[in-house]
Amino acid sequence: MIRINLLPSAQRRPKKADLTIPVIIGVAAFVLLGGIAFYGWQTYQIKKAEEQKILLQSALDDYSRQKAKLDEIKRNLSELEKRLQVKDTIMKDAIDVPLLIAELGAFIPKDVQIRSASMQKGSLRLEITTTSYFSAANLLQSLEAAPSFKDVETTSVSKGDSGVAFSVSCSLVEKGGVADGASSY
């Protein structure tokens, strides 16, 4: 049996499958999946970087607090060293301040008031107010007689309405005497 195809020639050929649309869809799907994967990876990297930023900020804040504490400790240490130097200077000079005050109390006349006193490197400076020149002279004689003082001299004198104001400067003797039963230094 012989068959004859009487159909027009365009219909006689076998149909080829059109692959352009599936290829375009495949490429588009591949690009879309690649873009989604890239977006996901970038999102993950950003999230990871933000977590690291938070950790670093926390560490920086902790460092700032620790640095502030360290600076405060350094300041306190510096102040303590200064105080120790003062203590060492006082101990090295071997001046017994309570004994010195006891001697001043024992040798100063009753009508004399000490307004201020300062000690520097073995010398004592007193700012004194009294009622008369006679009391001032008694004070100078008493300080000269005291075993802890030498080179007693008046540096300034002024008379006012309330009495006589004057300044006395004297050197301290390292091993002073005994005033009213006090032990010597």
Is the CB of residue 170 less than 8 Å from the CB of residue 153? yes
Question: How far apart (Å, rounded) are the C-alpha atoms in residues 166 and 58?
Answer: 65
Domain boundaries defined on the chain: 25-93, 97-172
Low-confidence winner among 12-21, 96-105, 109-118 (lowest mean pLDDT) = 12-21
Report the candidate in 99, 100, 126 with the shortest Cα–Cα distance to residue 113. Answer: 126
Q: How would residue 178 be classed by pLDDT, with cut points 50, 70 and 90?
A: very low
pTM comes to: 0.42
pLDDT tens profile 21-74: 989 999 999 999 999 999 999 999 999 999 999 999 999 999 999 999 999 999
In the chain, % of residues over pLDDT 70: 83
**CATH architecture of the domain with residue range 97-172:** 2-Layer Sandwich (3.30)
Q: Average pLDDT for residues 110-135, to the nearest whole number? A: 83
Question: How far apart (Å, rounded) are the C-alpha atoms in residues 140 and 158?
Answer: 16
